[in-house]
Structures are given as C-alpha cells and as structure tokens.
Amino acid sequence: MVYLVLTRAGFEQVRTGLKASDVVWTGRRVLPPKEADALREQGVDLKLFANDIDLADSAAVAGWTYTVAEHHPSQPIWVERLDDVVAEGRRKERRSPQRWIYPFLLAVLVLLLVFLGAYLAPYFSQLAAWASRLP
C-alpha cells in the first residue's frame, strides 16, 4: 500500500498498520530523523518531500498526490484527508483575486465607456447631422 501522510496525526493513523512492503510519502518535518530511520530499518520505503506543504493549499496537496501517483501507477494510494483543510482551501479559493478581478475590471470598463459616451454625445449628434447632409 502507498500512503501520502500530510501531518503527524495522519502518520499516527497509519503507523500501526504499516508493513515492510508499504511506501510512505510525507513532508520533511512530519517525522523526526530517528523515527524515519527506524521505519526504514523495518523495511518501510519512506519517501520525504524536500519541502513542506501548506495544508490550506488544496492545489499543493493535489500536486503531491499527483507526484505519488506518477511514481506508483495502478496502485491504491491512501491520502490523508483533513476536513478543516479542505474547508480552508475552499475559503482561500473564494478569496482568490482570480475570482473577483475580472468582474471588477469589467465593471470599470463599462463605467469608462458610459462616461466616454456621455462626454462624446454632443459630437455624435454633430456627426449625425453632418452625415445626414451627405448625398
């Protein structure tokens, strides 16, 4: 079995069920070095990511999951799920500038066009009068 462990609490969940043939992927600060060495001595294949993960960043968690899936195709992967992390990721997504910047810019553009039209209205009437005199 392949495990993606994000936190120390997640590791404690899977610790008792680990076998020598299992693979555990985790961040570098989840396990102390002595504990990591002890797991390797038991035959567990321990893979440490070089960086830590922002648990509130659902895209980062998805990236780690994808990396594990690339290394272990066609194998089931246990991924630690934290409901509060998922909720925080959704809140973060709603606050994302990408969600509000385009509607804001569109509103500004519409306002500019309205003011420009109001400013140029007398010239439009003059242009219409001139065009009506053309043969």
Q: Are 61 and 28 members of one domain?
A: yes
Q: Are 85 and 101 members of one domain?
A: no
The whole-number pLDDT of residue 88 equals 58
CB burial class (10 A; 0-12, 13-18, 19+) of residue 48? middle
Q: Are 44 and 87 members of one domain?
A: yes
Q: Are 111 and 67 members of one domain?
A: no
Cα dihedral 69, 75, 76, 77 in deg (nearest 10): -30
Residues of the domain holding 70: 2-93
Q: Are 54 and 107 members of one domain?
A: no
Number of domains making up the chain = 2
| Mean per-residue pLDDT over the chain, rounded | 86
Instruction: State how far the Cα of 52 lies from the Cα of 54, in Å rounded to an integer.
Output: 7
Residue 29 has pLDDT above 70, yes or no: yes
Q: Are 106 and 73 members of one domain?
A: no
- Assign 35 a pLDDT band (cuts: 50, 70, 90): very high
- Chain segment 46-72, per-residue pLDDT in tens: 999 988 877 777 788 888 999 999 999
- Work out the percent of the chain whose per-residue pLDDT is above 90: 43
